[in-house]
């Protein structure tokens, strides 16, 4: 395999007396889905919050395309092409999908020296990105986002991330946790679509079914440490569960 797009080395994170991560390495390649699994408290969210600039590591280094990077905020990570979609989606539910897509980055036009929101272009861009990048057509572009299904709301959140031309790494923390089987299947298809576009997709999931269906490699966290990385195609649920729980407990 070529050089990883993302490399984390020796990441340790302490919150006061709590050590959330101990000397963790992570690699993610362009055009792959890397799953991160592990019990509650294993450090999954903390690890990806460091990758996305939300937290700063106590120790350790990160590399993007082989170049050392350090983020002092989530905005820094976004600038470098790393973004995340959380289970909670962080959508403004009372606003329509286009308003959500451009929240804080509204498109404007200037007429006779005055600046107006360009609602028409924001809507057409929203429609275009959803269709071209995700193959999704929304039930309605007029209704508040809360009236859409869980899967469609998620597509809006993903579209907002991929609208950034420089996006190269997309982290998804438990994207199917709140979804039914049909919407889960659609979300897994979306993940495949993003992978095919060359993104590195990092998927945190409690569902080993989802993980085995969609991932290329599985990074297993246990008690703040990376305890294994397996190739999905040559592993199985048994092996991964064993790593999650730990050999002594599984024996």
Q: How many CB atoms lie within 10 A of CB 49?
A: 19
- In whole angstroms, the minimum distance from the beta carbon of 192 to ligand ADP comes to 24
Q: Where are the beta strands (DSSP E) in the chain?
A: 6-15, 18-28, 33-37, 59-64, 67-69, 82-86, 108-111, 114-117, 169-173, 200-204, 217-222, 225-231
Helix (H, G, I), strand (E, B) or coil at 203: strand
Residues facing 64 on adjacent strands: 6, 67
Taking 3-state DSSP, the helix, strand and coil percentages for the chain, each rounded to the nearest 5, stand at: 35, 30, 35
Residue whose CB is less far from ligand ADP, 45 or 215: 45
Window 37-76: residues binding ligand ADP (CB under 6 A): 38, 40-46
Size of residue set near ligand ADP by CB under 6 A: 11
Window 108-137: residues binding ligand ADP (CB under 6 A): none
Residue whose CB is less far from Mg ion, 177 or 229: 177
Indicate which single residue of 13, 33, 34, 45 sits in contact with Mg ion (rule: CB under 5 A): 45
- Altogether, the residues listed in the chain come to a count of 251
Binding of ligand ADP by 246 (CB under 6 A): no
- In whole angstroms, the minimum distance from the beta carbon of 226 to ligand ADP comes to 12
- In whole angstroms, the minimum distance from the beta carbon of 201 to ligand ADP comes to 18
- In whole angstroms, the minimum distance from the beta carbon of 58 to ligand ADP comes to 12
**Interface contacts to Mg ion, rule CB under 5 A:** 44-45
């Amino acid at each position: 395999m070529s050089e990883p797009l993302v490399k984390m080395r020796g990441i340790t994170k302490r919150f006061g007396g709590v050590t959330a991560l101990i000397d963790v390495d992570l690699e993610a390649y362009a055009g792959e889905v890397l799953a991160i699994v592990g019990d509650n408290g294993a450090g999954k969210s903390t690890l990806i919050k460091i990758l996305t600039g939300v937290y700063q590591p106590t120790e350790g280094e990160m590399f993007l395309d082989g170049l050392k990077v350090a983020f002092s905020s989530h905005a820094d990570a976004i600038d470098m092409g790393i973004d995340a979609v959380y289970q909670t989606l962080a959508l403004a539910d009372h606003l329509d999908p286009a308003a959500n897509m451009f929240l804080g980055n509204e498109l404007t036009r200037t007429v006779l020296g005055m600046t107006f929101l360009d609602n028409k272009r924001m809507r057409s861009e929203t429609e275009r990105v959803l269709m071209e990048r995700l193959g999704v057509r929304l039930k309605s572009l007029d209704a508040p986002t809360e009236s859409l299904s869980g899967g469609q709301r998620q597509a809006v959140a993903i579209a907002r991330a991929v609208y950034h031309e420089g996006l190269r790494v997309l982290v998804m923390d438990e994207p199917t946790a709140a979804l039914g089987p049909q919407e889960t299947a659609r979300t897994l298809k979306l993940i495949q679509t993003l992978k095919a576009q060359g993104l590195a997709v990092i998927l945190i999931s409690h569902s080993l079914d989802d993980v085995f269906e969609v991932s290329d490699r599985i990074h297993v966290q246990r008690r703040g440490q990376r305890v294994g990385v397996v190739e999905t195609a040559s592993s199985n649920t048994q092996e991964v569960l064993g790593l999650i729980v730990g050999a002594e407990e599984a024996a």
